[in-house]
Amino acid sequence: MVNDVFILAIETSCDDTSVAILKNKKVLSNVVSSQKIHEIYGGVVPELASREHDRLIIPVIKKAIYDADVNLNDIHAIAYTRGPGLLGSLLVGTSFAKSLALSLGLPLIEINHMQAHILSIFIDDNYKQPKFPFIALTVSGGHTQLVLVKSVTDFVELGTTLDDAAGEAFDKSGKLMNLNYPAGPKIDELALKGNFKKFKFSKPKVNGLNFSFSGLKTNFKNFIIKQPTGFVENNLHDLCASLQYTIVSILIDKIIEAKKIHKINDFVVCGGVSANSFLRKKLKDLEHKSNIKTYVPKINYSTDNAAMIGINGYFKFRNSNFGNFSDYSVSKYNM
Ligand code: KG4
Ligand code: ZN
């Protein structure tokens, strides 16, 4: 077994083309090219996303190799996102990873995107890390899940959204306020100057550990369309703060519920929405008010990136869990 493991990781599941190189758990480079082309459409256009990945993958990989200051001959394995994600986007990364691994004679490692979000907390040994078993809240543009994590290879879903994801609630409500896609970061920024108590939006009543965000989206839409011209512009900060407060409260309530049911105190909160500053603040408050300990990846590793694919690749390499060049069943990665 080699002492130091160098992994080249590729992420192309949605609209970020990313390549990272890791030496064990340390990130040597993590290049993310976020596709701007979707902004004006109010959401990701799958056909355009695949074409953009195809255009960007070579410059991104070249920069990742340059930044890491390594040679392709130093690499021990190629890790790539197998799913879940947009099929066309995944195919670009899959084909590229397979060709690269084949040409270099390296093993291939298949990664589940959502598990990678969770394991991003283990990047860099000096970062504050949870103990197993812990519960992960994965909140992104496509997913909102609570997952019991018993080890780096043992994941059990405890609850999921019955309709929209938390990120979609941000993005679709943002679109109603004429904000470009993805609206989440913009709402976060605008909310800083807003009053979260100004408007009250509905919170869903979903038993157990499942989530629902479609009711809130409809409630927000019905509220906005009733208002006179100029209302959104004149109340933008308060609307963003109130909407953000509602989404974050739904997430925090479920963490408290999950702790009660499973008697586990360590929570990892990951996925794009975990970059939200108000959510991060509320998680800190939770630590002070109860004995819930929360762990949130660094901002760079919260939204889609290949470093998280690399850390998962590292664990799989150590467990000799390699992929197959000819297996093509995507279903096992649609977690
Ligand atoms: O994990 P991610 O980068 O991609 C997916 O796998 O979906 O998550 C993207 C989602 C988008 O919905 C985006 O609006 C949201 O994360 N997001 C945020 C923030 N940064 C990204 N939502 C709220 N506040 C943020 N600061
Ligand atoms: Zn993601």
Q: Is the pLDDT of residue 331 over 70?
A: no
**Burial letters for 306-333: b for 16+ Cβ neighbours within 10 Å, e otherwise?**
bbbbbbbbbbbbeeeeebeeeeeeeeeb
pTM across the whole model: 0.93
| Pocket lining for ligand 1, CB < 6 angstroms | 14, 140-142, 167, 170-171, 182-185, 188, 271-273, 275-276, 303-304
For ligand 1, atom 1, the nearest C-alpha belongs to: 272
Choice among 41-45, 46-50, 111-115, 305-309 with the minimum mean pLDDT: 41-45
pLDDT digits (tens, 9 = 90+) for 94-114: 999 999 999 999 999 999 999
Give residue 328's pLDDT. 60
Give residue 330's pLDDT. 54
Give residue 2's pLDDT. 82
Give residue 1's pLDDT. 72
Query: Which residues neighbour 161 within 8 Å (Cβ) at sequence distance 6 or greater?
Result: 143, 144, 145, 210, 211, 212, 213
pLDDT digits (tens, 9 = 90+) for 46-85: 999 999 999 999 999 999 999 999 999 999 999 999 999 9
Give residue 326's pLDDT. 76
Choice among 166-170, 228-232, 266-270, 331-335 with the minimum mean pLDDT: 331-335
Give distance in angstroms: CA of 70 to centre of ligand 1.
Answer: 31
Q: Is the pLDDT of residue 327 over 80?
A: no
Q: Are 92 and 59 in contact (CB under 8 A)?
A: no
Q: Is the pLDDT of residue 329 over 70?
A: no
329 vs 285, more confident = 285
Distance CA 171, CA 165 (A): 10
Q: Is the pLDDT of residue 204 over 60?
A: yes
Report the amino acid identity of residue 332.
Answer: K
For ligand 1, atom 14, the nearest C-alpha belongs to: 184
Give distance in angstroms: CA of 141 to centre of ligand 2.
Answer: 7
pLDDT digits (tens, 9 = 90+) for 211-260: 999 999 999 999 999 999 999 999 999 999 999 999 999 999 999 999 99
Give distance in angstroms: CA of 94 to centre of ligand 2.
Answer: 17
Residues with Cβ within 5 Å of ion ligand 2? 140, 304
Tokens of 46: 């799958």
Residues 127-145, mean pLDDT to the nearest whole number: 95
Q: Is the pLDDT of residue 139 over 90?
A: yes
Residues in the chain: 335
Q: Which atom of ligand 1 is nearest to the CA of 85?
A: 6
H or E segment and range at residue 154: strand 154-160
Q: Which atom of ligand 1 is nearest to the CA of 244?
A: 23
Give distance in angstroms: CA of 270 to centre of ligand 2.
Answer: 9
Give distance in angstroms: CA of 113 to centre of ligand 2.
Answer: 6
